[in-house]
C-alpha cells in the first residue's frame, strides 16, 4: 500500500549537482515527515536530511552545506538537491517515512560520482 519511489540517480562527475526525487503514495503525504538516507558499500545507512509536514528541515552535519531537502505536497514528492558532489558521496540514496509505528523505505536510487 505504501510506496516510495526514488529517482534521479546515475553517473555524475565530481562537482555535479543532481536532484533526487522521492514520489510517495499510500500515505497522507502532507502529514508525513520524509527523510533521505544513503548507504555506501560496506557502510551503515546514513541519515542525510528530513522534511517535516510543514517544511521544517534538518540535516546531517556532513551534508548540511551542500544538500537541500524540499517538498512539494501537491505532487506528493520530496526532493534532495545535491551540489558539489564528491566521489565519497557515491551511494544508494533512499527515502523513508514512518506510519503507524512502521518504517517504509524506497528501493533506492544509485548515485555514482566519478573523479
pLDDT digits (tens, 9 = 90+) for 79-104: 999 999 999 999 999 999 999 899 99
- Interval 41-67 mean pLDDT: 96
Residue-level pLDDT at 76 = 97
Q: How confident is the model at residue 14 (pLDDT cuts 50, 70, 90)?
A: very high
Cα 47 from chain centroid (whole Å): 9
pLDDT, mean over the chain: 97
Residue 75: all three cell numbers together: 505532487
Residue-level pLDDT at 16 = 97
Cα 99 from chain centroid (whole Å): 17
Residue 42: all three cell numbers together: 560496506
User: Residue 70 contacts by C-beta under 8 Å, 6 or more apart in sequence?
Assistant: 51, 78, 79, 81
Amino acid at each position: 500500500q505504501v510506496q516510495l519511489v526514488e529517482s534521479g540517480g546515475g553517473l555524475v562527475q565530481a562537482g555535479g549537482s543532481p536532484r533526487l526525487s522521492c514520489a510517495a503514495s499510500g500515505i497522507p503525504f502532507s502529514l508525513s515527515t520524509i527523510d533521505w538516507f544513503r548507504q555506501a558499500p560496506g557502510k551503515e545507512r546514513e541519515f542525510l536530511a528530513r522534511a517535516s509536514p510543514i517544511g521544517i528541515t534538518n540535516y546531517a552535519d556532513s551534508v548540511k552545506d551542500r544538500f537541500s531537502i524540499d517538498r512539494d505536497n501537491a505532487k506528493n514528492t520530496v526532493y534532495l538537491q545535491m551540489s558539489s558532489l564528491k566521489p565519497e558521496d557515491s551511494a544508494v540514496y533512499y527515502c523513508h517515512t514512518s506510519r503507524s509505528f512502521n518504517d517504509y523505505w524506497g528501493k533506492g536510487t544509485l548515485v555514482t560520482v566519478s573523479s
